Amino acid sequence: MSDELVCWKCGAGLDDLPQPLGRRAECPACGADLHVCRLCRHHDTAKAKQCRELAADEIKDKTRANFCEWFQARAGAWPASATAAGGGRAALDAMFGGPAPANTAPDARRELDKLFGKD
């Protein structure tokens, strides 16, 4: 994991922005709000309310600026979210024996015809 503070949405470096990030802070590259749950060190999708801080109020939209007093910017937030989809796909491939086959509609139709005796 990187120690560099980067945008949760596009991965642009944020080290030039004043710290701590204010509620209205935006990414200079993509304009995304930065005082958001997705960039917070307490954000955890496996926890209730997706937050490790039990005393924090629930924030419904994790990608919009909020007034949470527990917010602490987390370095390396972008790579984790960018690779989550790829990791999920790899886990499914491992579980089901590899990637999904290419579209084999004609072969599937032929197999169905054989199954129901329509040679």
What's the angle, vertex CA 9, arms to CA 8 and CA 10, rounded to 5? 105
> What is the pTM (predicted TM-score) of this model?
0.64
Residue 22 has pLDDT above 90, yes or no: yes
- Which residues pair with residue 51 across a beta bridge? 43
Residue 19 lies in a domain: yes
Residue 3 lies in a domain: yes
Residue 67, classed as helix, strand or coil, is coil
Residue 113 lies in a domain: no
Residue 39 lies in a domain: yes
Residue 103 lies in a domain: no
Q: Mean pLDDT check: name the lowest of 29-33, 35-39, 91-95, 101-105.
A: 101-105
What does the CA dihedral 91, 50, 22, 69 come to, rounded to 10 degrees?
A: -150
Domain that holds residue 14: 1-87
For residue 40 the two structure tokens come to 């917070």
pLDDT-derived band at 119, boundaries 50, 70, 90: low
Number of structural domains the chain divides into: 1
Residue 1 lies in a domain: yes
71-94 pLDDT per residue, tens: 999 987 876 444 455 566 677 777
Residue 28 lies in a domain: yes
pLDDT at 4: 86
Mean pLDDT of 45-74: 93
Measuring CA to CA, which residue among 63, 70, 19 is closest to residue 38?
Answer: 63
pLDDT-derived band at 17, boundaries 50, 70, 90: very high
